[in-house]
A and B are shown apart, each in its own frame.
Chain A
Amino acid sequence: MSIHDAEAEAGPLFAATRKVYPQSVSGPYRRTKWIILVLCLGIYYLLPFLRWDRGPNLPNQAILADIGNARFYFFFIELWPQEVYYFTGLLIMAAFVLFLMNAVAGRVWCGYLCPQTVWTDLFLAVERFFEGDRRERIKRDEGPWDADRIWRKSAKHLVWLLIAWWTGGAWVLYFADAPTLVRQLAAFEAPMTAYVFIGTLTFTTYALAGIMREQVCNYMCPWPRIQAALTDSEALNVTYRYDRGDPRVSLRQAERLRRQGDPAGDCIDCRQCVVVCPTGIDIRDGAQLDCIQCGLCIDACDNVMDKIGRPHGLIGFDTEDNVERRIAGEKPVYRPLRLRTLTYAALIVVVGGAMVWQLATRRTVELSVLHERAPLFVRLSDGAIRNAYTIRILNKRPEERPIALSVEGLPGLRIETVGVPATADLRPVVTVEPDTSREVRVLVTLPAEIHPDKSQTITFTASDLFAGEVVTAQDHFIAP
């Protein structure tokens, strides 16, 4: 049978995406989602306005990625571009936290914390506000384009765009002084980059949370695929307990069957779990890629169980093993402390500990030395040999600091810095302005009576004259 014939019988192989109309639901999981939504969006939208005093020379915004000056501020932490590896560490931590969350309770990230979920939830609430709940929306979408439909749709899209615009607007506030930028934006005086980013994020938010929704999770996001490979039979997942639910029969039939002593499941096939699902799946089909494990089907099912007088938890966060255990007549157990979770926790502690240690012990003075290449050395009129170096001193503190330079490694070495006076002990003292670096040309002279090897290692030392912080750097002294 050729493909052509197959299509002729079964219709085209391509199935167009069907639109999902999630119904509203109430219950503890829905409430949790609302609380997390308010918290996350509150933090996202308001955090740029939080102030943090760092003294007169530094910005007072608690979180600021100052691209222009190449600094990142996070409360009491200030990072320079060369410390970007902290972000690598954070990303590694984030990955392990995600793995741990997955090993403990499945895709809670997807269902509760992922920006895609949070914004989609918000957009769905707006949609519900203007267009009503599931049935009303379906009915209106099937109906004609009358005035009622037009204004409701327009209002919804307008509010969506406003939220999306605000999302982009909040994003750019992390990259400049927030109150100033807000004033500039209002007066149309902000940098072009700000408008471009706001425009881009308005578009992506509107498209991802308003139009694409569950398709982002199903087709664009790699996490469902990765998660499927990471999960195991002992992780909590949103599970339909088919041991309790099947066989599915109507309420009346179930009563009859039970009276006869025949098996009857608790599932009455009311499809409430399906209609509330934001990705439009049937959880009773088992664990699946499209399930973001938000738990809304649990709320929906529990509400139904209340009505028909059966116990809660026909759908619930449960493990595959427990379903098997119940079928075998054993007691369900959940072990959050397993080799897998403990390993992830240990890795988080190791990576986090290394980062904290690194952060706590990092230096606030740094020294980098670059040997002059042309010429490698200079012979002076008295026969002495001199090497030149370009030395950069970094001052990561918010105050001006006097840094004394010295050098050792060969007898009689003399150090001088072009344009910088020396102290009484012949060490040049370079004043480095707050939170910046200074480059100086340093000349190191070896007296004529010393005859060194062609290349000799020497050590430069930079000492903060006030705080006493000392850093060293090695380079070579080249002789003929």
Chain B
Amino acid sequence: MNKHQDTPHEIDAHTGHTTTGHEWDGIRELNTPLPRWWLGIFYATIVWSVGYWVVYPAWPLISDATKGVIGYASRLEIAQDLALLQQQRAAQASGLAEASLEQIKADPALFRIAMAQGKAAFGDNCSACHGVGGAGAKGYPNLNDDDWLWGGTLADIHLTLEHGIRVAGNNDTRISQMPAFGKDGMLKPAEIRDVANHVRELAGLSTEPGADLAKGREHYAANCAACHGDAGKGSKELGAPDLTDAISLYGMDLASLTETISNSRAGVMPAWSQRLDATTLKALTVYVHSLGGGQ
């Protein structure tokens, strides 16, 4: 029985307001006016919006929008914020720029800034290969340990960062070339096997029963010792790894060694001076040096 009917507008006795003229099963609706304060605010917002259209960017046009008279734009605000950030950082950055690597390392305040900045830069640029904490992976050196291909002093790390490793066209880049003894036909597969076993012998690891270690030693002395040294201790000038220690970049198992000797290894790293500013490079150097392996 939900019958709706229109009744004439009447004045309600208690409130003095009219009814809406609608009636549902005897229930009539009061036409109570909006509170004045509410209406006042509503009209004020309308007035405000007109002013807003004039002052701020507001109306979308076909390919653009109205600009507003004070020239506000949220993109400009971001640009200002960025400029402010650079300005704020400049104070710290100038401290890093002027100090030497050793001074940064010795000064607690500079060290803190360098570590913070270095950590951020490492995450952005280095962690893709070396891992978030510099733990590395096969072929990508672990920067936490004390074994360095090209040296682990502050100066060494800085030079490596600046000019990279095997960067074509960079005169100061770290460069060395291990021959691909198998691929280039310098050693026969059986000889490579002997050399590999000799390398394992140098490292104090077990050798294959059938391997001719004496022959391996001969081939090693003729082909490898120039860079890796007679005892396999390597050379930082040549980026030749120490074959005897507990750390290896490509693995010391026979299969890995065979592959290394046959095809050579030549990891590369970008020259970061092309991408990063001098201060960031310094911060990165200090950060990497402080991971635990710095010398």
Interface residues of A (CB under 8 A from B): 2, 7-8, 11-12, 372-375, 378-383, 386, 388, 418-419, 441, 443, 448
Q: Which residues of chain B in 108-161 are interfacial with respect to chain A, using CB atoms and an 8 Å cutoff?
A: 108, 111, 131-135, 142, 144-147
When distances are taken between beta carbons in the complex, the residues of chain B under 8 Å from A373 are: 133
Q: Report whether over half of chain B's contact residues are helix, strand or loop; otherwise say mixed.
A: loop
Q: Which residues of chain B in 263-295 are interfacial with respect to chain A, using CB atoms and an 8 Å cutoff?
A: 290-292
In the A-B complex, the 6 residue pairs with the smallest Cβ-Cβ separation, listed nearest first, are A375-B135, A374-B133, A381-B245, A383-B246, A378-B144, A381-B147
What is the bound-complex CA distance between A375 and B127, given in angstroms?
A: 12
What is the bound-complex CA distance between A379 and B134, given in angstroms?
A: 13
Q: Are B290 and A419 in contact (CB under 8 A)?
A: yes
Interface-centre pick from A8, A12, A386 (highest chain B CB count, 10 A): A386
A380-B246, A441-B290 given; A375·B147 CB < 8 A: no
Interface residues of B (CB under 8 A from A): 13-15, 26, 105, 108, 111, 131-135, 142, 144-147, 242, 245-247, 290-292
What is the bound-complex CA distance between A126 and B147, given in angstroms?
A: 81
Q: Are A375 and B246 in contact (CB under 8 A)?
A: no
Q: Are B108 and A381 in contact (CB under 8 A)?
A: no
What is the bound-complex CA distance between A375 and B135, given in angstroms?
A: 5
When distances are taken between beta carbons in the complex, the residues of chain B under 8 Å from A2 are: 26
Number of A-B contacts (CB under 8 A): 60
When distances are taken between beta carbons in the complex, the residues of chain A under 8 Å from B146 are: 380-381
When distances are taken between beta carbons in the complex, the residues of chain A under 8 Å from B142 are: 375, 378
A29 to chain B, nearest CB (A): 39
When distances are taken between beta carbons in the complex, the residues of chain B under 8 Å from A374 are: 131-133, 135
What is the bound-complex CA distance between A438 and B115, given in angstroms?
A: 13
Q: Are A381 and B247 in contact (CB under 8 A)?
A: yes
B24 to chain A, nearest CB (A): 13
Q: Are A419 and B144 in contact (CB under 8 A)?
A: no
When distances are taken between beta carbons in the complex, the residues of chain A under 8 Å from B13 are: 8
Q: Are B14 and A7 in contact (CB under 8 A)?
A: yes
A390 to chain B, nearest CB (A): 11
When distances are taken between beta carbons in the complex, the residues of chain A under 8 Å from B108 are: 419
B292 to chain A, nearest CB (A): 5
Q: Are B242 and A372 in contact (CB under 8 A)?
A: no
B247 to chain A, nearest CB (A): 5
When distances are taken between beta carbons in the complex, the residues of chain A under 8 Å from B145 are: 378-381, 386
What is the bound-complex CA distance between A383 and B290, given in angstroms?
A: 20
What is the bound-complex CA distance between A388 and B293, given in angstroms?
A: 11
What is the bound-complex CA distance between A7 and B14, given in angstroms?
A: 8
Q: Report whether over half of chain A's contact residues are helix, strand or loop; otherwise say mixed.
A: loop
A380-B146, A381-B146, A381-B247 given; A372·B14 CB < 8 A: no
Residue of chain A at shortest CB distance from B27: A4
When distances are taken between beta carbons in the complex, the residues of chain A under 8 Å from B14 are: 7-8, 11-12
What is the bound-complex CA distance between A386 and B291, given in angstroms?
A: 11
What is the bound-complex CA distance between A12 and B111, given in angstroms?
A: 76
When distances are taken between beta carbons in the complex, the residues of chain B under 8 Å from A379 are: 145, 246-247
What is the bound-complex CA distance between A321 and B39, given in angstroms?
A: 55
Supplied contacts A375-B144, A378-B292, A381-B245, 6 more A-B pairs, CB within 8 Å: A8-B13, A12-B14, A374-B131, A375-B134, A380-B146, A448-B246
Q: Are B144 and A388 in contact (CB under 8 A)?
A: yes
When distances are taken between beta carbons in the complex, the residues of chain B under 8 Å from A448 are: 246
Residue of chain A at shortest CB distance from B292: A443
Residue of chain A at shortest CB distance from B28: A4
When distances are taken between beta carbons in the complex, the residues of chain B under 8 Å from A11 are: 14
Residue of chain A at shortest CB distance from B106: A419
B1 to chain A, nearest CB (A): 16
Residue of chain A at shortest CB distance from B104: A419
Q: Are A381 and B246 in contact (CB under 8 A)?
A: yes
When distances are taken between beta carbons in the complex, the residues of chain B under 8 Å from A380 are: 145-147, 246-247
Q: Are B292 and A386 in contact (CB under 8 A)?
A: yes
Q: Are A375 and B290 in contact (CB under 8 A)?
A: no
Q: Are A419 and B292 in contact (CB under 8 A)?
A: no
When distances are taken between beta carbons in the complex, the residues of chain B under 8 Å from A441 are: 290, 292
What is the bound-complex CA distance between A443 and B289, given in angstroms?
A: 13
Q: Are B246 and A372 in contact (CB under 8 A)?
A: no
What is the bound-complex CA distance between A76 and B199, given in angstroms?
A: 69
Q: Are B133 and A372 in contact (CB under 8 A)?
A: yes
A61 to chain B, nearest CB (A): 28
Q: Are A418 and B246 in contact (CB under 8 A)?
A: no
Contact among B26, B105, B131 with A375 in the assembled complex (CB-CB below 8 Å): B131
Contact among B111, B135, B246 with A419 in the assembled complex (CB-CB below 8 Å): B111
Residue of chain A at shortest CB distance from B133: A374
B208 to chain A, nearest CB (A): 23
Residue of chain B at shortest CB distance from A383: B246
B231 to chain A, nearest CB (A): 14
What is the bound-complex CA distance between A243 and B188, given in angstroms?
A: 122
B153 to chain A, nearest CB (A): 15
A351 to chain B, nearest CB (A): 41
A480 to chain B, nearest CB (A): 11
What is the bound-complex CA distance between A372 and B133, given in angstroms?
A: 8
A304 to chain B, nearest CB (A): 40
